Amino acid sequence: MTLAAPPEQTLREPLDRPGDPPSRRIARTAGVLFIITFVTSIPALFLYGAVLDHTGYITGAGNDTRVLVGAFLELLLIVANIGTAVVLFPVLKRQSESIALGYVTARVIESAFIAVGILSLLAVVTLRQDLAGAGTDTATLETVGRSLVAVKDWTFLLGPGFVVGIGNGLMLGWLMYRSGLVPRRMAMFGLVGGPLICLSGIAVLFGVIDEGGAGQFVATIPEFIWELSLGIYLTVKGFRPSPILYDDGLHAGVDGPLVPGLAAPVAAPVVTAP
């Protein structure tokens, strides 16, 4: 008599093993990238003040160096934005691959809006350098300049002012809350701040509140706390112990197995009766 072998079972390997914690490096890298997003975005906003707050910039003397430095900082911001999602994806997909992929997509869309805003302000600088004082009608130049600045304002509203609420707020907040990779009370700032960012952006879109006003500022506070605290926490402490880091492979995430099989299938021996 021969006993048939049971279905093959594939051995899976946890992300963290004794003496080899790659999750620590992932957390530290992601934390530093989150901090870079603050270090680049906030100074860039102040540097852009010369062109954003002065309608006659395109026909005046201008301070192009400030605008160019701001554009360079926002290019670094784009790299850091996408980097946070790409670095965290191998870990977050163990909780939910679809939502983790959605988070990467949201970061890319946000960065695309930022890139369009950079191009609009660089166009203002180019027009000022090439056409101002060259006989071009001043009123026409100022109209074009204000139009390009308006594009920058809208990209800021729809990117950092709306998409961030969906990506960094809701998606990343949910993934961190469910996985327990960071304190759940901290992740709640994302779950609360995300919808507030979205609602404030919609309110500005329909003219209910003023862009950059007190209402929008207050709505951004929870999201600001969430992203800054996340960056500092991941840099200093790393991930908290979580089943998705240490699981031996018998557990499956929301969307399926944790990782592909890393060992040869193990089959039961065949027993033959005498």
pLDDT score at 232: 97
Query: What angle separates helix 22-47 from helix 214-236, to the nearest 10 degrees?
Result: 150
Nearest residue to 191 via CA among 230, 155, 158: 230
pLDDT score at 259: 37
pLDDT digits (tens, 9 = 90+) for 27-79: 999 999 999 999 999 999 999 988 988 878 888 777 889 999 999 999 999 99
| pLDDT reading at 252 higher than 70 | no
pLDDT score at 7: 45
pLDDT score at 156: 93
Residue 133 phi, psi dihedral angles, 5° rounding: 80, 10
Helix (H, G, I), strand (E, B) or coil at 36: helix
Residues paired with residue 257 on neighbouring β-strands, in sequence order: 252
Average pLDDT value for the chain: 84
Task: Find the distance separating the first CA and the last CA of the chain, reported in whole Å.
Answer: 8
Q: Structure pTM?
A: 0.81
